[in-house]
Homo-oligomer: A and B are copies of this chain.
Amino acid sequence: MREVAVVGVGQTPVAEHWGLSLRHLALQAVEAAVADASVPQIDALYVGNMLSGELAGQEHLGALIADFSGMRGIEAFKVEAACGSGAAALRLGYLAVGSGAADTVLVVGVEKMTDALAEDTTAALALAADGEYEAAQGVSFVALNALLMRRYMHEFGYSQADFAGFAVNAHRNGANNPQAMFQFALKADRFAAARMICDPINLLDSSPVCDGAAAVVLAPAEQAGDLSAAPVRIAASAVGTDALAVHDRSDPMVLAGAAIATRRAYDQAGVGPDEIDLFELHGAFGIMAALSLEAAGFAEKGKGVRLAMEGEIGIEGRVPIATMGGLKARGHPVGATGVYQAVEVVQQLRQLAGANQVADARVGMAQNIGGSGATAFTHIFVRMDE
């Protein structure tokens, strides 16, 4: 298949956007991405979204956003893979350009979560879990992650405080990102004092409910130099799955789907963990960050949290994560997150990440996870002057 590149990126600030509906959020990201690229037209538009039907009273986002963005007539539809929906749309765009079916594709991730009652949002997020064997028993999505974290602490001998480093790192980076929901630093003592949401997950270990949209423009890599001053090649696009229900997994302490997706991505790109300059992982909770680091080969089983404890996840660390704030501080508008990750990796590879710039970043990886690990999308991006 043809090689594919990102030739434009755009995003809205992540926030509680009381004044913007879902279509307006998407439009802002689309306009920014299209303005960032020099493409004559868009052939197709793919939307990543998880909960617009449940929380925003709207399905059928493809046609809606295409029309509202002034692109009536073009190919458009939506993809969904729970919190991994954004990267699913990126995957689809990659296939469309790679196949030759489209030359320029717009990938939009959008989610509007705040125009709903909190209990409805909690119920909607639980649709990512197994409806008949998890959610129907009253287990919320946070609760599933709390069970994983409790097991991790028990099995490998950690305390809840050992996870503080993920939130502290995310907030340190979010403080420098004007698009982030939380632009303030966080100290470990404040983490320790935060009220418990779902023991052992506290408020400051949790990504927020929020609204946002992000977009990227894709084009064939061989034309990318004409379409962008700083194109970024997608060196790998891979997907892996696991059992939807946590209790069905062969080992709940291993994100097998993420491990599959990462291995496939490393194979496609011809790199390994040592070549990854930054890793935008799916840190919806600290436990997901720890397990993701392990699945991606940056730590052995049971040792992912040590990278946070030992300061290895900072901008100058061995494996910088959440470099623009991540899901915790930039925010986690669920179906949009995978596209935000792609935008941020591109910013890093373009050396436009400001105070959060990873020095001479050449290769960046993004991993977007659906549910508590049942679906994982791994994309590897490489600077095109390499």
**Chain A residues close to B by CB (< 8 Å):** 1, 21, 23, 44, 50-51, 53-54, 56-64, 66-67, 72-82, 84-85, 88, 91-92, 95-96, 98-101, 124, 127-132, 135-136, 237-244, 248, 256-257, 260, 370-371, 374-375
Question: A80-B79, A98-B101 given as contacts; is B243 within 8 A of A60 (CB)?
Answer: no
| Shortest distance from the beta carbon of A282 to any chain B beta carbon, whole Å | 14
| Shortest distance from the beta carbon of A325 to any chain B beta carbon, whole Å | 25
- Give the CA-CA distance A370 to B75 in the complex, in Å: 12
| A81 close to B63 (CB less than 8 A) | yes
Number of copies: 2
Shortest Cβ distance from A377 into B: residue: B77
| A101 close to B67 (CB less than 8 A) | no
For chain A, what secondary structure do more than half of its interface residues adopt (helix, strand, loop), or is it mixed? Answer: mixed
| B127 close to A73 (CB less than 8 A) | no
- Give the CA-CA distance A80 to B375 in the complex, in Å: 17
What chain B residues lie within 8 Å of A72 (beta carbons)?
A: 241-243
| B53 close to A241 (CB less than 8 A) | no
Question: A21-B132, A53-B54 given as contacts; is B1 within 8 A of A75 (CB)?
Answer: no
**Of B67, B77, B100, B127, which contacts A60 at CB under 8 A?**
B127
- Give the CA-CA distance A375 to B64 in the complex, in Å: 9
